[in-house]
Amino acid sequence: MEAMAQTIAERVISLVLDAVDVNAVLDDVDLNALLDRVDLNMLLDRVDIEAILNKIDIEDILDRIDVNRLLARVDVNQLLSTVDVNRVVGKVDVPAIVDQVDVNQMVQQVDVNGVMSRVDVNAVVDRVDINGIVEHLDLEAIVEQTDLGSVIAKSSSGIASGVVDVVRSRTVGLDESIARMVARLRRRPYTGPPGPPAGLRATAAS
Amino acid sequence: MTAHTGRTTPAPPPAAQENLQGHYAGFASRFLAFAADVVIITAGFLLVLAAINFVASIVTGRSTNFSRQDIWVIIGYVVWAFIYFAHWWGLNGKTPGGGLFGVQVLTEDGRDVSGRRAIGRTLAFPLSFLILCLGFLGILLGDRRRALHDVIAGTVVVYSWDARAARLRFLSRPQYSAPPESPGVPGPPS
């Protein structure tokens, strides 16, 4: 009896479903209103996402992806322009990285001769401000405290030139004294001997 | 000044601490250079005058004495001085006296003096004396230390020697440059 009732019910349902235009019914359904009544969060809470992910073969998916083609579609420059490199570098612990580097081993692997053969030494020297370096040298101290003084003395200084140097320097001292005295009388500051003429300045500068 | 040996050495003369080469020369240098030139001119002239007197006395057979008061001797002296200054200033801007005191005559823009300008300067030179030496006031008061004859000839006088090199040479003398100390070798007197 029960089996017959189930058979009849199934038959009735089948006939009803055949008679109903499901598409027309769905057209009449306000899906948005229906979705508004569904609590998606609660629904998702009941879904076991971990189980779903476990069933997915990610390796297989990745194998199917043409990464090169994907990257070709990426504008790397634009991507990098949005990256705050300073912030990234700021997060890098450079000393820790350097500590891990065996500099000696690295240097041993470098072909110094090969590197030097590729260096244009003349170009490097051209970029060095030798005059600036010489200006920083205390020539007087070097001459006074080293044998260089005696070398200069032997090569360039005779008694006569020594006397002339002294006479000239004394006379320059006298020039300066007179100039200072005149400046004092004129109530003007004295800042040393004037000059040189414009032509000599240009020659000295070139 | 103390060398690395610790001995105290006498201070060097007041040579310029910087290179004065090309700066306008002061009154003392110019005056002393001129004085040295006058000594050279006069000594040379008197020597030539004595030679002329000697030759004339031999040729004429009687004592000939051109004195310094003779007008021709004075004219000869002035001409000799003119040739002397014009020649040296035109040659390299340095008379022997100027070379001794390290001063040189250049044009006002720093070029070498031409022969014509040297002659002009030599002709204008006496003017600085003739107005009671007021022509030299420009050396003391002017920004470019020019005398009247400099202004007329368009010249300047500059230091032509390298004061810094001279100072280094001075410091390099044995009493300043300290040789390496070795046992038993006495150092220079302090």
> What confidence score (pLDDT) does residue B183 get?
46
Q: Residue B119's pLDDT band (boundaries 50, 70, 90)?
A: very high
CB–CB of A170/B14 below 8 Å? Answer: yes
Residue in chain A lying closest to B15 (CA): A169
Q: Which residues contact B39 (CB under 8 A, 6 or more apart)?
A: B97
| CA–CA distance, A120 with A110 (Å, rounded to integer) | 18
H/E element holding B3? none
Q: Is the dihedral of CA A108, A109, A110, A113 positive or negative?
A: positive
Name chain A contacts of B180, Cβ cutoff 8 Å: 147
Q: How far is CA A32 from the centre of its chain?
A: 53
A172 Cβ neighbours under 8 A, 6+ residues apart: B14, B15, B16, B20, B26, B29, B159, B163
Q: Give the span between the Cα atoms of B5 and A132, in whole angstroms.
A: 30
Q: What is the pLDDT of residue A111?
A: 80
* Contacts B1 to A, Cβ<8 Å: 144
Judged by DSSP in three states, A128 sits in coil
- Kindly identify which residue of chain B lies nearest to residue A173, measuring between CA atoms: B14
Q: What is the spatial distance between Cα B146 and Cα A41, in angstroms, rounded to a whole number?
A: 101
Q: CA–CA separation, A197 vs A11, rounded Å?
A: 123
At B47-71, the pLDDT tens digits run 998 898 889 888 888 877 777 778 8
Residue closest to B89 by CA, chosen among B29, B143, B34, B135: B34
Instruction: Say what percent of chain B tops pLDDT 90.
Output: 54
Across the interface, do A172 and B26 touch by the CB < 8 Å criterion?
yes
CA distance B110 to A198: 7
Q: How far apart are CA A61 and CA B22, in angstroms?
A: 85
DSSP run (H or E) holding B104: strand B103-107
- At B1, the pLDDT band (50, 70, 90 cuts) reads very low
Kindly report the three-state secondary structure assignment for every residue of chain A.
CHHHHHHHHHHHHHHHHHHCCHHHHHHHCCHHHHHHHCCHHHHHHHCCHHHHHHHCCHHHHHHHCCHHHHHHCCCHHHHHHCCCHHHHHHCCCHHHHHHHCCHHHHHHHCCHHHHHHCCCHHHHHHCCCHHHHHHHCCHHHHHHHCCHHHHHHHHHCCHHHHHHHHHHHHHHHHHHHHHHHHHHHCCCCCCCCCCCCHHHHHHHHC
Q: Which run of H or E residues covers position B155?
A: strand B155-159
What residues of A are in contact with residue B143 (Cβ under 8 Å)? 194
Asked if B25 lies within 8 A of A175 by C-beta distance, the reply is yes
Average pLDDT for B113-133: 93
Which helix H or strand E contains B114, and what residues bound it?
none
Q: Using a CB-CB distance cutoff of 8 angstroms, which residues of chain B are in contact with residue A144?
A: 1, 3, 171-172, 176-178
How far apart are the CA of A152 and the nearest CA of chain B, in angstroms?
A: 7
Q: Is the pLDDT of residue B123 over 50?
A: yes
Separation between Cα atoms, residue A26 and residue A20, nearest integer Å? 11
**Of A147, A140, A137, A145, which Cα lies nearest the Cα of B4?**
A145
Cis status of the peptide bond prior to A196, with omega within 30 of 0:
yes
**Per the confidence metrics, is the pTM higher than 0.90?**
no
Q: Pick the more confident residue, A10 or B125.
A: B125
When pLDDT is cut at 50, 70 and 90, the band that residue B188 belongs to is very low
Flag whether pLDDT at B20 surpasses 60.
yes
For residues B94 and B157, give the distance between their C-alpha atoms in angstroms, rounded to a whole number.
10
Give me chain B's average pLDDT, please: 81
By Cβ distance, the residue of A144, A192, A195 closest to B22 is A195
Assigned token pair, A133: 């370096």
Counting one residue from A and one from B, how many pairs have CB atoms under 8 Å apart? 162
CB of B98 closer than 8 Å to CB of B136:
no
Mean pLDDT of each 10-residue bin along chain A, 206 residues long: 85 83 80 80 81 81 79 78 78 79 78 80 80 74 64 61 84 92 90 78 54
Structure tokens at A118: 């590729």
**ipTM for the assembly:** 0.75
User: What are B90's two structure tokens?
Assistant: 């035109």
d(CA B187, CA B189): 6
Q: How far apart are the CA of B151 and the nearest CA of chain A, in angstroms?
A: 14
